[in-house]
Homo-oligomer: A and B are copies of this chain.
Amino acid sequence: MRADSLDVRRYLDTRRRLVERALAARFPPRPSALRRAIRYSLLGGGKRLRPILALAAGEVAGAPVRTVLPFACALELVHTYSLVHDDLPAMDDDDLRRGLPTSHKVFGEGVAILVGDALLTEAFELMAGARHVAPRNALAAVAEMARAAGEGGMVGGQALDLEAEGRAATLAAIRTIHRRKTGALFRAAVRVGALVANARPALLRRLTTYGEQLGLCFQIADDIADAAGAGDGRTDHVLGKATYPALLGMGRARTHAERARDAALAAVAPLGARATPLRAIATLVVAQLDAPVVLARTG
């Protein structure tokens, strides 16, 4: 377990750097406010967990890293776009992200809206221009990403979240919002990696379950870390935002996270050594609640 844990940290670090190099190469510095703002939000840190999951799922399905990398980067572009737009005053109105002023605080709201628009669009350009992938598989990944990001996924989840603010929420309502806001992109991350590799249906189903359960586990863990960070989850109460710990208490929330982790682990249990990174990531998401290092809340 300790050896595994060391390995996964090295694994995550190597993959994170790989993704960051690719992102930086895709957006070199240019003398425009928009490009500066894009680089500020995209290259300012983050765990790069979604792209790493895509790479790890691709590995399980037999795709080389260079094949999956453009799609992995596209996942990070979609994730970053959603953060920039969600932080806007008309949305969650956040001044800080990863310890730094949010995009609209630095560049103004207009530019921040355009940063999100550009990142979302570029995600699709990256996927459509990927080499080493059969067009049919690339197109399946485009469809997967769009479904996860759109009205039925992230955008719809954020709309529900806006509507729900200040209202008493049920556990069912929280699950729905989380599944669409966060879970959809985790699910898409592993599916995109698998689709690019042309994974067989049975493998795709296992990876899909893994992605869904990991997304849930991650979101609950994130809520717990938030609540612990604020001492008593006060920030979320003030915002009227419902969270797992607010609704269930810390202990039961953690049990829910552990159950989701176990379901994720069970889904990939038969996949052998190739799925070691996926197993290690799922284990780490809950383990980091006791020693928040690698997957600490940096995005």
Question: Which A residues fall within an 8 A CB radius of B?
Answer: 32-35, 38, 85, 88-91, 108-114, 116-118, 120-122, 124-125, 127-129, 134-136, 138-140, 142-143, 145-147, 149-151, 155-156, 158-160, 162-163
Which residues from chain B contact A34 at a C-beta distance below 8 Å?
Answer: 151, 155-156, 159
Nearest B residue to A109 via CB reads B90
Which residues from chain B contact A110 at a C-beta distance below 8 Å?
Answer: 88, 90-91, 162
CB atoms of A33 and B139 under 8 A apart: no
Q: Which of B129, B146, B162 contacts A121 (CB 8 A)?
A: B146
CB atoms of B118 and A155 under 8 A apart: yes
Return A254 CB to nearest CB of chain B, in Å: 32
A48–B242 alpha-carbon span in the complex (Å): 42
CB atoms of A108 and B90 under 8 A apart: yes
Which residues from chain B contact A136 at a C-beta distance below 8 Å?
Answer: 135
CB atoms of B117 and A91 under 8 A apart: no
A127–B146 alpha-carbon span in the complex (Å): 10
CB atoms of B121 and A155 under 8 A apart: yes
A90–B116 alpha-carbon span in the complex (Å): 14
Return A159 CB to nearest CB of chain B, in Å: 4
CB-CB nearest 9 A-B residue pairs: A90-B109, A125-B146, A128-B143, A121-B150, A135-B135, A34-B159, A128-B142, A90-B110, A135-B136
Which residues from chain B contact A116 at a C-beta distance below 8 Å?
Answer: 117
Return A186 CB to nearest CB of chain B, in Å: 17
